[in-house]
């Protein structure tokens, strides 16, 4: 009991500390790399305190000279941190703009140059994805959870199309990632955090070069099967 109480005390303190620091740094760090490093350190502190170990497999599938659209399943809040801690490459999230309304955390997210989608405005969302495609074509790997929300049952849900449009327009491979074990640690609908092991398994990149928009559904099935 005391251990759990300590976790629930320390995690908010970590969040306040790193978010405030990131907000100050983010004003001058326009690329967002330093703020992202702070975010990764924040997650490392939380996982260490909660005794969550991230086991990584398939790193040999990642070519660090290549940029990717990284797609991962989503069962728990823990998935996000596990993926970030496992990645050996520079990354940004594709996230919904509503997250920026969260005090401190959302402000740091906004300042760290992530790709924020306004889902209530389709033309603006499409234009944001076009700009994101240009960034991916240059030097930024982006993370997207194609299910759009966490699975209640643990079963992989149907994928949304936005991330596939992004990958096709950027002309870069999709890197599939399967995170397992996270649902046991923090199921959807609860904030309780158990100790345990989360595995992040990187699959073989899936090429998008030469795939037209009409082939998008086949690409979705291929990535769905890989994850």
What pLDDT, on a 0 to 100 scale, did the predictor assign at position 3?
Answer: 67
pLDDT in tens, the chain (227 residues): 666 778 888 988 999 999 889 888 877 877 778 888 999 999 999 999 999 999 999 999 999 989 999 999 999 989 999 999 999 998 888 877 888 788 777 777 777 778 887 777 777 777 777 777 777 777 889 999 999 888 888 888 999 888 898 899 888 999 999 999 999 998 777 777 889 999 999 999 999 988 877 788 899 999 999 99
Q: d(Cα 30, Cα 12) in Å, to the nearest integer?
A: 26
- Cα–Cα separations (whole angstroms), residue 111 to 20, 27, 92, 126, 192: 11, 7, 12, 21, 29
**Residues linked to residue 175 through DSSP beta bridges, in sequence order:** 70
What pLDDT, on a 0 to 100 scale, did the predictor assign at position 226?
Answer: 96
- 171 in the Ramachandran plot: left (φ > 0), alpha (ψ -120 to 50) or beta? left
What pLDDT, on a 0 to 100 scale, did the predictor assign at position 82?
Answer: 95
What pLDDT, on a 0 to 100 scale, did the predictor assign at position 2?
Answer: 65
Closest CA to 226 of 200, 199, 205, 198: 205
What pLDDT, on a 0 to 100 scale, did the predictor assign at position 209?
Answer: 85
């Amino acid at each position: 009991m005391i251990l759990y109480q300590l976790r629930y005390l320390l995690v908010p303190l970590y969040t306040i500390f790193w978010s405030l620091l990131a907000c100050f740094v983010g004003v001058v760090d326009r690329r967002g790399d330093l703020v992202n490093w702070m975010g990764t350190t924040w997650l490392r502190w939380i996982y260490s305190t909660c005794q969550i170990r991230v086991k990584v497999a398939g790193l040999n599938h990642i070519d660090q000279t290549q940029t990717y659209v990284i797609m991962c399943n989503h069962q728990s809040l823990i998935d996000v941190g596990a993926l970030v801690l496992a990645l050996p490459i520079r990354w940004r999230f594709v996230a919904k703009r509503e997250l920026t309304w969260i005090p401190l955390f959302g402000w740091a997210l906004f300042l760290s140059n992530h790709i924020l989608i306004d889902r209530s405005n389709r033309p603006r969302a499409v234009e944001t994805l076009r700009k994101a495609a240009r960034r991916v074509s240059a030097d930024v790997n982006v993370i997207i959870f194609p299910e759009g929300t966490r699975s209640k049952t643990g079963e992989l849900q149907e994928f949304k199309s936005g991330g596939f449009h992004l990958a096709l327009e950027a002309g870069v491979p999709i890197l599939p990632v399967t995170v397992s074990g996270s649902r046991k640690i923090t199921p959807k609908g609860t904030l309780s955090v158990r100790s345990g092991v989360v595995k992040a398994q990187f699959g073989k990149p899936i090429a998008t070069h030469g795939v037209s928009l009409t082939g998008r559904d086949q690409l979705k099935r291929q990535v769905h099967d890989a994850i």
